[in-house]
Amino acid sequence: MRLADFLLNNSLGAHWRRIRRFRDDKSGNVAIMFSISLIPIVGLTGFGVEYARTDSAHSKVQAAVDAAALAATSAALKGGTTAAAQAAATQVFLADVSSINGLLNNSSVTPVVAVSKANNVVSTTVSYSGAVNSVFSGLFGAATTPLTVHASAIGGANIAASGSGSYYGSGSLSEDPVIVGADGSWSLFMCDYSGNTWYNLLSDAGIQINANCTGNSSWSEYYKVSILAGAHTISLAPGLTSVSWYGTSQIGESWMGAITIDGVAYAAQSGNNTYLVDAAAGITVKVVVGQPGVVGSAANYALITTPHYSVSVAYDSDDDVDGLTGKAATFGFANIQIAAQNAGQCGVPGGTWGGKLGRVDDFNANDFIVSGPTSQSSQFSWSCTSAAQANAQVRLVN
């Protein structure tokens, strides 16, 4: 008998036949491939669920920190000590986070609360660093996911001996543009010079000043100015002949006293012209033309008065010479003078100049963008009659 026949007829040959059949059998491939692919599918699903869970916890903790910052600010404004403000923040925070799924030690965590007071304006910062329990990632050695959040809030008005709001002082917004605060400090405000973007310069109860800019990549000036005073809208829009760097620029040079009030246009007239007297609201609008036909004269200006603010708008002239080309140019720009008297009764004023008045500076131009000349910020709609109501005005700061 041949060796091959012998192997086929004994037990070793039988095993060999079974091995060949197993090699050629493809009926179990789908199950095998599914089992292999199931590993990344389960992994991705697990990580996705865990990410959603962590993101939800982060959003809830952020909301708790926001609420804590507002609570601390309110407590401090009501005369509470720093310790009392911190306690108020902690109490609100713990109440909000106690039910957050997965937050470690959610019943005993304590946020870090910092409270400062300057000129009766309260600034509060609340921060928290913790972790969320990682169920799925724990299988790979990452038992927790770090979580860090913070929030800042400000509020209040300067409280005088009489108990009323008490912001006083004068400042300006003028060329380049430069913001000069009531305390004498100044900062440069780089605005969009296309003329398409409007900025809030001041907003307080019943008053708002919006303006846009013109210029180029090297400089920008306030151009159009819109003032909302109670139920009235006052607009100044000087002529714009061209915009270039040197040689042909004539910006705002045509303004000599024209003004639009509540949609009615008034042409420039020599002398002292009163166009609006709203005795019930304490608002007056007049235009003084001391030098008829003279562009850029400080003797030509509009004056708007409200119970707590006096706003003067003129268009100055600035002759300049390029040191490289020797070409001359005349730049006209809005020079806005603001004086506050017992202002901010409902809280810290808004806007670029209002922030300086409230000793809360913000150098990010994007924070003050409004949708147009008649846009109203939240402060414009404030209504309050007492210091207690003023103290209730608090807001988060980005």
H helix or E strand, kind and range, residue 287? strand 283-289
Q: How far is it between the farthest Cα atoms of the chain?
A: 136
203-227 tens-digit pLDDT = 999 999 999 887 766 667 788 899 9
17-61 tens-digit pLDDT = 666 665 565 555 655 665 565 556 555 555 566 667 777 778 888
pLDDT at 248: 46
DSSP classification of residue 246: S
Higher pLDDT, 370 or 135: 370
For range 182-194, the mean pLDDT: 81
Q: Which of 105, 132, 155 is the last residue before a domain boundary?
A: 155
Q: Which of 94, 123, 155 is the last residue before a domain boundary?
A: 155
Same domain, 216 and 284: yes
> Whole-structure pTM over 0.85, yes or no?
no
101-105, 151-155, 183-187, 298-302: which is most confident: 298-302
Same domain, 272 and 306: yes
Q: How many domains does the chain have?
A: 2
Q: Which residue has the tokens 């609360």?
A: 113
Same domain, 192 and 338: yes
Same domain, 136 and 210: no
pLDDT band at 164 (very low <50, low <70, confident <90, very high): very low
82-86, 183-187, 353-357: which is most confident: 82-86
Same domain, 72 and 134: yes
pLDDT at 388: 44
CA atoms within 13 A on the CB side of 354: 28
Mean pLDDT, the chain, as a whole number?
A: 76
CA geometry: angle 321, 323, 325, nearest 5 deg: 85
Question: Helix/strand/coil (H, E, C) string of 259-270?
Answer: EEECCEEECCCC
Is the separation of the CB atoms in 238 and 315 below 8 Å? yes
Is the separation of the CB atoms in 107 and 123 below 8 Å? no
Same domain, 328 and 276: yes
The answer to whether residue 265 is domain-embedded is yes
The answer to whether residue 162 is domain-embedded is no
Higher pLDDT, 173 or 79: 173
Give the three-class secondary structure for 216.
strand
The answer to whether residue 15 is domain-embedded is no
The answer to whether residue 395 is domain-embedded is no
The answer to whether residue 183 is domain-embedded is yes
Same domain, 206 and 255: yes
DSSP per-residue string spanning 182-203: TTS-EEE----TTS--EEEEEE
Higher pLDDT, 4 or 29: 29
For range 151-163, the mean pLDDT: 56
Is the separation of the CB atoms in 317 and 170 below 8 Å? no
The answer to whether residue 363 is domain-embedded is yes
pLDDT at 293: 77
Residue 295 has pLDDT above 80, yes or no: no
Same domain, 98 and 222: no
Q: Taking each helix axis as running N to C, give the angle between helix 29-77 and helix 82-97, from 0 to 180 degrees, rounded to the nearest 10.
A: 150
Same domain, 255 and 122: no
- Supply the range of the domain harboring residue 119: 29-155
pLDDT at 391: 44
For range 332-353, the mean pLDDT: 85
CA geometry: angle 170, 171, 176, nearest 5 deg: 170
Q: Which of 133, 155, 177 is the last residue before a domain boundary?
A: 155
- Single out the residue of 51, 45, 58, 61 nearest to residue 142, CA to CA: 51
φ/ψ region of 97 (left if φ > 0, alpha if ψ in -120 to 50, else beta) reads alpha
pLDDT at 119: 60
Compute φ and ψ for 175, nearest 5 degrees: -55, 145
381-395 tens-digit pLDDT = 887 654 444 444 677
Same domain, 337 and 302: yes
Residue 169 has pLDDT above 90, yes or no: no
The answer to whether residue 24 is domain-embedded is no
Calpha distance 210→351 (Å, rounded) = 9
For range 325-335, the mean pLDDT: 60
Same domain, 151 and 173: no
Calpha distance 398→389 (Å, rounded) = 24
pLDDT at 34: 53
Residue 284 has pLDDT above 90, yes or no: yes
Same domain, 150 and 47: yes
The answer to whether residue 1 is domain-embedded is no
49-53, 125-129, 359-363: which is most confident: 125-129
Residue 364 has pLDDT above 80, yes or no: no
pLDDT at 285: 97
Give the three-class secondary structure for 110.
coil
pLDDT at 312: 95
pLDDT exceeding 70 applies to what percent of the chain? 65
